[in-house]
Structure 1
Amino acid sequence: MTTQDPTVLTRATGVPSHGRRASVAGFIGSALEYYDMYIYASAATLVFTQVFFPDQGATGLLLSLGTYGVAYVARPLGGVLAGWIGDRFGRRSIMMLTLLVMGVATFLIGCLPTYQTVGLWAPAMLVLLRIMQGLSVGGEASGATSLTLEHAPEGRRGLYTSWMVNGIWVGYILATLAFLGVAALPEDALYSWGWRVPFWASAVLVIVGVIVRRALVDPEAFVAEKEQGHIAKVPLGDVLKNQPGDVVRVIVAALLLVISSTVPVWGLAYAKNVVGIDPSVMLWAVVFGYATALISQPLFAALSDRIGRKPVLIGGNLLGAVTVWQFFWAVGSADVLMIYVGIFLTITLSLGATNAVYPVFFSEMFNVRFRVTGMAVGLQLGLVLTGFSPSIIQAWSDATGASWWPAALYTSIACVLSAISVATSRETFRTPLRELGR
């Protein structure tokens, strides 16, 4: 009797070990990606005006925040590149590449010379590395979700893929804690070396991520297509030819993530600059929302495995469309207790439901031959509006006498549009893996 290679056997039979390993890999990768993204956001507000744009006053802050927005412009291109690599060469390849690109770019940001040392070369190098971060994060979610989905046991695809988005909140929490410590340093230490430490610390997550991801294998669903010569030579062209409607649905449905920037980002700015609430109050309220979402998200994902993706996504969107009004009212009233209630309703429950399920739902829409590309392109194009939402709302709020209601109305509209897009899509939670996207 011949003995079969256990790696091949487990891959072919789809046993949970590969699914769990893929879930852990996605969790660690997302934690790194969003730790890096969020420490950049914190640094852009706290120190980059002094380190890279000194003596510019308000213009310096605008330039610093502008470098943060550069990543959102780069993300769609990152999605296209990730789709081409992931759909032609394998899911494992793109997961390794995005991890290394993000890790190297973040570590190098911590090594950059300052404006006082090299002049305009300093912000130029900063923008280049920020673009690298955007390219990386543009492909991470689609690559990790596709690999995990294709390894996960039938009937548990939602639960397994949800750990990728749980990693996002862990990354945010770690970044917040890192900069709470750094911000407490004396100014001379903060501006000379202190701000660099959180960027250098990302190397630890990179090392752990590489160790975990090296053990991954490409799913049998992808390997079978590759061995039969069915791999798309131009995945973007194929997905636009075969499933253009689904790409559009993902773009619109991705508006569900608008709430992730309007509530914690614009809400923090409004609370500080207009209402006069101590930023630490809002910061800890947001951390509370992220921490409790670590519990709610797997529960919502498991629920989607039982009753379907669409009911959870539509319910989460509609809940968000209503509860954002309570949250922004609480901020405008400086009612701290009700702010925490609002965070629980909008972040823990509403965003927890949609954030946990959108990765598996978007990925399940597409055929295995261009699954990474379809999800990546649709998601990243939809996220462009999410990235610019705080700026749009700020302009609207200024035009209405520093009101909070534009933020609530804007977010409500985004949630309703997302719910409509989801409602027009087909349900996929019971569709066998081999039939998805056919």
Structure 2
Amino acid sequence: MPASVEPSAPETSPRPHDAVDESHSNIPRHRIILASLIGTTIEFYDFYIYATAAVSIFPLLFFYGDEGSALLASMATFGAAFVARPLGAIIFGHYGDKVGRKATLVGALLTMGIATFLIGLLPTYQQIGLWAPALLTILRFSQGLGLGGEWSGAALLASETARPGKRAQAAMWPQLGAPFGFILANGLFLVLATLFSYDSTASDLSDPFLVWGWRLPFLLSVIMVGVGLYVRLRIEETPVFAKAMASNERVKAPIGEVFRRNWWEIILGTFIMLATYGLFYLMTTWVLSYAIGSNETGGLGYGYQDFLVLQLVAIVFFAIFVPVAGKLADKFGRRPMLIVVTVAIMLFGLSFGFWLSADSMGTGEDLNIWQMLIFLAVGMTLMGLTFGPMSAVLPELFPTNTRYTGSGVAYNAASILGAALTPFVAAWLVQNHGVAAVGLYLAGLGALTVIALVLAPETSKKSLYTQASAD
């Protein structure tokens, strides 16, 4: 098994000056928390408003065909961002490892924010034909580029300024951007759908919500981007990267370096994230399409606004268990904690047939809302537990001078395997094999993650002041 650091330059062992604290970094802790949290909240908000629209709005406005075909086409454009995310990780990772974490985070935020704003201005298929889905796909791809560079930078900002023994707890702050962004995005859609009296089960293209109301969440994102830029421009470089610059430890081509020296860690990181991604996009994007989809396409025929309320309640469990996961990962170690959680995700997947079948759950107005809420809450609890430590786990696999690139590539490569395909595959499985098959798919992703965790090293005690040797 290849090592991440060559024998000629072993990892540095933790030393007293490796203990990063507020006085050492000269960055107030509250500023670090705000800068890492607000950026990921904005980025995930932008990402989720697209996810919600891809299920309920875009099949009607940007694609031609029957209901099932339009939904699958919309899911395919949703997946375009995940193809872009590894490329974004490479581009922004290059500058994050050469120029610095701060400037790169600003660039990623602008890329995502501009693309989201422009989606709110797009003409529809009825107005410009095939140009509409083409332009939508391009902007969705641009969203993926931005998010591909955002996460790893925010994770490094939090983890590279953490106190010894508290790294997972410190690094969990950018992870909270996922549930917070989801609440903002879907909460706003719910408010608008209610104000416009929009009924997803009886859609009419002349409905004001479909004409212009759906655009507001995309256009309003520009305000949040402005706030995010203000916060991020006021932070300093992390002390870990500043030390690397002072020691002239930067490499010319971070992507080449990380693939040459740390390809094994990229593979491990990718599969460690696999079940996390699969679970989340099943519990958000796919389950929404399944719940509000018509009985003819295998869905439950439940109302859009009513189901969004259930999702918003369940997402609170996600937010609560992210910090719990950080504490558990620091106390028991990354590998033991994540192995237990992933096995629980596999068992949860095997129960999908019981929870979600039309015979058990009911359909339309007869849907058992308490059963659905419990299902969503269990899934989101598991999501918080598996997602919380990832902003510590993935960066810890890589040396300082290629950490932005390496962690970003692993995180976003997992997005292709675990997220880009998942809503599409799940929608196809429901239509052809029933909802229990979706749970089997999740269990399969979990099995691959468990294997990666067993093969991975325990990194909770590893110093972040490490580098790969130069030839």
Question: What TM-score do you get using the length of structure 1 for normalisation?
Answer: 0.90
Q: 1:410 to 1:113 in 2, by over 3 A?
A: closer
Greater relative contact order (Cα 8 A, min sep 6): structure 1 or 2? 2
Question: What is the aligned counterpart of 2:213 among 187, 194, 213?
Answer: 194
Residue pair 1:169, 1:291 contacting (<8 A) in 2 also: yes
Question: Aligned to 1:434, what secondary structure does the other structure show?
Answer: coil
User: 1:178-327, aligned counterparts within 5 Å?
Assistant: 178-184=188-194, 185=196, 187-257=206-276, 258-273=278-293, 274=298, 276=300, 278-280=302-304, 282-327=307-352
Aligned counterparts of 1:224 and 1:316: Cα–Cα separation in 2: 36
Residue pair 2:314, 2:377 contacting (<8 A) in 1 also: yes
* Aligned residue in 2 for 1:43: 53
Q: State the shift of 1:282 in Å.
A: 4.1
Question: What is the aligned counterpart of 2:154 among 144, 147, 153?
Answer: 144
Residue pair 1:275, 1:331 contacting (<8 A) in 2 also: no
Residue pair 1:106, 1:202 contacting (<8 A) in 2 also: yes
Q: 1:20 to 1:154 in 2, by over 3 A?
A: farther
* Aligned residue in 1 for 2:442: 411
Aligned counterparts of 2:370 and 2:337: Cα–Cα separation in 1: 27
Q: State the shift of 1:327 in Å.
A: 4.6
Residue pair 1:76, 1:376 contacting (<8 A) in 2 also: yes
Is 2:428 aligned against 1:395? yes
Question: What is the aligned counterpart of 1:374 among 406, 423, 426?
Answer: 406
Residue pair 1:14, 1:153 contacting (<8 A) in 2 also: no
Question: What is the aligned counterpart of 1:13 among 17, 24, 27?
Answer: 24
Is 2:165 aligned against 1:155? yes
Is 2:117 aligned against 1:107? yes
Q: State the shift of 1:20 in Å.
A: 3.5
Aligned counterparts of 2:77 and 2:377: Cα–Cα separation in 1: 31
* Aligned residue in 1 for 2:3: none
Aligned counterparts of 1:380 and 1:262: Cα–Cα separation in 2: 17
Question: Aligned to 1:151, what secondary structure does the other structure show?
Answer: coil
Aligned counterparts of 1:397 and 1:52: Cα–Cα separation in 2: 23
The number of equivalent residue pairs is: 425
Aligned-partner residue type, residue 231 of structure 2: V
Residue pair 2:75, 2:423 contacting (<8 A) in 1 also: no
* Aligned residue in 1 for 2:372: 339
Residue pair 1:14, 1:152 contacting (<8 A) in 2 also: no
Q: State the shift of 1:159 in Å.
A: 1.2
Q: State the shift of 1:138 in Å.
A: 1.0
Aligned-partner residue type, residue 379 of structure 2: T
* Aligned residue in 1 for 2:136: 126
Q: Deviations over 1:289-311 (max 9, x none)?
A: 21122111101102212221112
* Aligned residue in 2 for 1:32: 42
Residue pair 1:12, 1:220 contacting (<8 A) in 2 also: no
Q: 1:40 to 1:397 in 2, by over 3 A?
A: closer
Give percent identity, aligned residues only: 31
Q: 1:195 to 1:10 in 2, by over 3 A?
A: same
Q: State the shift of 1:118 in Å.
A: 4.4
Question: Aligned to 1:375, what secondary structure does the other structure show?
Answer: helix
Residue pair 1:323, 1:342 contacting (<8 A) in 2 also: no
Aligned counterparts of 2:122 and 2:62: Cα–Cα separation in 1: 10
* Aligned residue in 1 for 2:108: 98
Q: Which deviates more, 275-284 or 320-329?
A: 275-284
Q: Which deviates more, 128-137 or 174-183?
A: 174-183
RMSD: 2.4
Q: State the shift of 1:90 in Å.
A: 0.5
Question: Aligned to 1:377, what secondary structure does the other structure show?
Answer: helix
Aligned-partner residue type, residue 194 of structure 1: G
Aligned counterparts of 1:191 and 1:265: Cα–Cα separation in 2: 19
Residue pair 2:48, 2:185 contacting (<8 A) in 1 also: yes
Aligned-partner residue type, residue 247 of structure 2: Q
Question: Aligned to 1:153, what secondary structure does the other structure show?
Answer: coil
Q: Which deviates more, 159-168 or 56-65?
A: 56-65
Aligned counterparts of 1:218 and 1:201: Cα–Cα separation in 2: 30
Q: State the shift of 1:399 in Å.
A: 3.9
Question: What TM-score do you get using the length of structure 2 for normalisation?
Answer: 0.84
Q: State the shift of 1:272 in Å.
A: 4.0
Q: State the shift of 1:174 in Å.
A: 1.2
Unaligned runs of 5+ in 2: 1-19, 198-205, 362-367
Q: 1:115 to 1:389 in 2, by over 3 A?
A: closer
Residue pair 2:40, 2:177 contacting (<8 A) in 1 also: yes
Unaligned runs of 5+ in 1: 1-8
* Aligned residue in 2 for 1:4: none
Which aligned segments of 4 or more residues in structure 1 are displaced greater than 6 angstroms? 9-12
Question: Aligned to 1:231, what secondary structure does the other structure show?
Answer: coil
Residue pair 1:103, 1:202 contacting (<8 A) in 2 also: yes
Q: Which deviates more, 113-122 or 356-365?
A: 113-122
* Aligned residue in 2 for 1:423: 454
Q: Which deviates more, 125-134 or 141-150?
A: 125-134
* Aligned residue in 2 for 1:5: none
Aligned counterparts of 2:72 and 2:352: Cα–Cα separation in 1: 27
Aligned counterparts of 2:380 and 2:424: Cα–Cα separation in 1: 20
* Aligned residue in 2 for 1:383: 415
* Aligned residue in 2 for 1:362: 394
Q: 1:200 to 1:270 in 2, by over 3 A?
A: closer
* Aligned residue in 1 for 2:8: none
Q: State the shift of 1:241 in Å.
A: 1.4
Aligned-partner residue type, residue 451 of structure 2: I
Is 2:77 aligned against 1:67? yes
Aligned counterparts of 1:325 and 1:127: Cα–Cα separation in 2: 34
